Structure 1
Amino acid sequence: MVIVFVVLISILCARGQAQSTQSSLQEALTFYSSFDRGIEAELAHGDPSLYTITSKQPQETVRRGLHAQGQTEWVTGLGIDGGAALRFNQRNASWIFYRGEKNVRYRLNQWSGSVSLWLKLDPETELAPGFADPLQLTTRAWNDGSFFVDFNKDGDPRDFRLGAFADLKIWNPENKEISEDQRPLFPVKAPPFAKDRWTHVLFTWSNFNTGKKDGVARLYLNGAFQGEIAGWDQTFSWKPHETIKIYLGLNYNGLLDEVSCFNRALTPKEIKWFFEHPKELVFESASQ
């Protein structure tokens, strides 16, 4: 009888801890797009719409919705747990993005946050030559106030990398050529991506916009810590007139699902739980 009681208490405590973790994640969540109901985000503190850059010259032209002419598709039945996902079929497809304003909480000081997504591909057989960025978050360029996760342009297997580049004038004031090992990058050797299974990608950042060299960005794959970018002055001076963009699938070939943004750096415990419960942050409303 005593053993049964102890087991029951343990089960109840575990459920309580899981509910507490789920609640803390939902409170921190600012953007969530599962793609199961379409391309609009289920939860967005800002604009829930997906946009396509249909032309870049002579000036950038943007249309609401997915207008990639089959190069990128919303596909059903191929996502996590049989849901829907985005499939990127061609390297030079039109760029697509969500607007980041309010969806990514930006702060002028002591800034922290997290971004999560899921990928399914065999990098060695599906990616074309060159860099491939499943996700890039910036107002300007990849090397100027930008976060990204990418596959390196070559290698067998290719490295999977986290980049956290402060303002160009901060990390590279002379705008000179700097070798990759001296850039704010963290590479994962032989990453666990495969064509027949989903891989969870999550990165966090903390102590950004402090004016000190104490910014830290961390990368997790399948709930496990891989490494960090530390010892840099991570000043991101995103301006009010600049459009924050959450780019998806830049020069990428493969499936992408479940994009989420959080207003703080998640803890290792939360990240592990989130990896193990990818479909448990679902909301009834399309936006908030």
Structure 2
Amino acid sequence: MQNQTFIKLVIFFGVLPMLLASCAKDTTQADLKSSLTLYASFDKGVQADFALGDANLYTVPSRKARDSAQVGLHKPDISIAKDKGRYGDGLLFTERSRGNIYYPSAKNIAYNTSDWSGAISFWLSLDPATDLKPGYCDPIQITDVSYNDASIWVDFTKENPRDFRLGVIGDRDVWNPTPNGPDNENPIFIKQLEPVVKNPPFRKGEWTHILINFSNLNTENGQASLYMNGELKGTRKNISDPFTWELDKSNIYLGLGYIGLMDELSIFNRNLSDKEISTLYTLENGVQSLFE
């Protein structure tokens, strides 16, 4: 009888942790939602579905002409593509042309001068070899000045076969105090471009998920990682250069030189865990699922 009681106790206490674990609520989606600062589905136009800052998208003829910014989409080579997005509608870029579109960074990016973390998520659909025109192409670039000065971006290299690169570049006057030659060919600059993805998994008619994860920028131990389709492609560590913004001049630029489709732009106020990145990648109805 004592042996039977002992066996029952062993079974009970062995099963109990599993029962408790199964009953514990998975808060991953709720945590993702609470960390959002900007979400643009492009299903109801170009105004962001959710934004802590300005939800409007702006069009400017050039970065130096911010005073000429117009609310909304005013470039004939960019349009909303009905039912062509990863989920619902998408943003379609058809030509490489002058002018820029952007969402303002203020409050839509959780910028911090002392310890800055965040994540940037979006989907792309294109064949880089046949869709892109010659030249560098940045599907997204976040900065108050340019690609080489306190900037976060991903790009396609300028010629086929194109690599896909992550750029997390600090203040130019720190990393390049004595400028010499074009920055995009400068060995110091190139050394900061990590990871570099050879033969990236982009295909015509298919969608690729991009996630930029960064933490502890504006400290001595900053780092940034690139994920594609939920898989870690590489991490750059020990980023110590400062990122100094005039926040009211910083913008989230989309589609610089890009030709193809974009969808589901989402920005978070902290770096995400591997589980959260996997969840984001596999959401059945995209980020809209977090609001259901």
Question: Out of 75, 79, 84, which is 2:85 matched to?
Answer: 79
Equivalent residue, structure 2, for 1:31: 38
Deviations 1:133-165 (A, max 9, x none): 100000111000000111000132x10011000
Q: Distance in 1 between matches of 2:275 and 2:95?
A: 36
> Alpha carbon RMSD of aligned pairs, Å?
2.4
Task: Decide which structure has greater helix share.
Answer: 2
Specify whether residues 284 and 113 from structure 1 end up closer, same or farther in structure 2 by C-alpha distance, changes over 3 A only. closer
Unaligned runs of 5+ in 1: 1-5
Question: Out of 138, 147, 151, which is 1:142 matched to?
Answer: 147
For 1:148, what is the secondary structure of its paired residue? strand
Q: Distance in 2 between matches of 1:26 and 1:219?
A: 21
Question: Out of 223, 242, 245, which is 2:251 matched to?
Answer: 245
State the 1:54 CA deviation: 3.0
Specify whether residues 166 and 260 from structure 1 end up closer, same or farther in structure 2 by C-alpha distance, changes over 3 A only. same
Q: Distance in 1 between matches of 2:199 and 2:105?
A: 31
Q: Distance in 2 between matches of 1:221 and 1:254?
A: 17
Residues 132 and 258, structure 2, Cα contact 8 Å, conserved in 1: yes
Residues 184 and 232, structure 1, Cα contact 8 Å, conserved in 2: no
Describe how 1:126-275 pairs up with structure 2 within 5 A: 126-156=131-161, 158-177=162-181, 178-179=186-187, 181-210=190-219, 212=220, 214-240=221-247, 242-275=248-281
Describe how 1:88-103 pairs up with structure 2 within 5 A: 88-103=93-108
Deviations 1:109-128 (A, max 9, x none): 11100101100000000000
Equivalent residue, structure 2, for 1:3: none
Query: What is the identity, as a one-letter code, of the residue corresponding to 1:85?
Result: G
Q: Percent identity?
A: 40
The structure with the largest alpha-carbon Rg is 2
Unaligned runs of 5+ in 2: 1-14
State the 1:231 CA deviation: 2.5
Residues 42 and 282, structure 1, Cα contact 8 Å, conserved in 2: no
Residues 145 and 236, structure 1, Cα contact 8 Å, conserved in 2: yes
Which deviates more, 172-181 or 189-198?
172-181
User: Normalising by the residue count of structure 1, what TM-score does the alignment of the two structures yield?
Assistant: 0.87
Deviations 1:170-229 (A, max 9, x none): 22222234225423442101110111211000001111111x2x2101000000000022
Residues 206 and 217, structure 1, Cα contact 8 Å, conserved in 2: yes
Residues 201 and 220, structure 1, Cα contact 8 Å, conserved in 2: yes
For 1:282, what is the secondary structure of its paired residue? helix
Q: Distance in 2 between matches of 1:15 and 1:228?
A: 32
Aligned positions, number: 271
Query: What is the identity, as a one-letter code, of the residue corresponding to 1:159?
Result: D
Equivalent residue, structure 1, for 2:55: 48
Specify whether residues 245 and 208 from structure 1 end up closer, same or farther in structure 2 by C-alpha distance, changes over 3 A only. same
Residues 264 and 286, structure 2, Cα contact 8 Å, conserved in 1: no
Equivalent residue, structure 1, for 2:110: 105
